Amino acid sequence: MTKCYDLIVFDWDGTVMDSTALIAGSIQAACRDVGLPEPTDVVARYVIGLGLDEALRHAVPGLKESKRGDLVERYRYHFLAQDESVALFDGARQTIVGLHAAGSLLAVATGKSEQGLKRAMQTSGMESYFHATRTADKTLSKPNPAMLLEIMDELGVVARRALMVGDTTHDLQMARNAGVDAIGMTHGAHPADQLRELNPLMLANNFFELQVWLKERC
């Protein structure tokens, strides 16, 4: 792979790791546990990519503060019971390793917590390939551009030389807000028609299509 962008930033859940179903199911199970209305699959998938508190408030409108702590605790219980078994998407490791070997700067911008991302990276063996990370508990949540702006500042890359790869409208809107090009991955949380509305450079159904696009463009 040759390098056309100095920096490529990946979302994690639903983009690199095939965790959409686990996250949505954990939100729904947590709501059942504490006696709150269970969000639909569409709603539970829509909030993926946001910080946990923000995601739960969107998924459960009118969430009372007295219930918030219990809901967070039950979500983490259900998610952590299964997260080590979640795999990377086919081609994700190959793509990221190839980009790293070609000299690209790589980063992650995610709605996960710092601890959660570290756990996921260690479990998947991907920790050594990324030069910077930003998580929702350390800066402003998507679609605010803070994650991308902070990563670019840390790594000394201007917006026109950066690319965001994500599976949600939150990712694509964050990229737009930061003035960064974006690619939408259709194998994650948000459907292709919603991603297309934000005019990404392309929609990739998988990492193999992303690899082809990068090779052709560069």
So where are the chain's domains?
Answer: 7-19+86-217, 20-84
We find that the CATH architecture of domain 7-19+86-217 is: 3-Layer(aba) Sandwich (3.40)
**Tens-place pLDDT, residues 73-130:** 999 999 999 888 899 999 999 999 999 999 999 999 999 999 999 999 999 999 999 9
Q: Determine the Cα–Cα distance for residues 103 and 109; give it in Å rounded to an integer.
A: 19
- Let me know: does 16 contact 10? Beta carbons within 8 Å: yes
Report how far residue 148's alpha carbon sits from residue 137's, in angstroms, rounded to the nearest whole number.
15
Predicted confidence at residue 1, as pLDDT, reads 46
Dig out the tokens for 132 from the structure: 């910077």
Q: pLDDT value at position 3?
A: 55
| Arithmetic mean of pLDDT over the chain | 94
pLDDT tens across 5-59, in order? 999 999 999 999 999 999 999 999 999 999 999 999 999 999 999 998 899 989 9
Distance of CA 13 to the CA centre of its chain: 4
Q: What is the pTM (predicted TM-score) of this model?
A: 0.93
Are β-strands 202-204 and 132-135 bridged in parallel, bridged antiparallel, or unpaired? unpaired
pLDDT at 2: 44
* Residues with catalytic roles: 11, 13
CATH architecture of 20-84: Orthogonal Bundle (1.10)
pLDDT of the residue at 216: 85
32 C-beta neighbours (distance < 10 Å), count:
12
pLDDT in tens, 152-166: 999 999 999 999 999
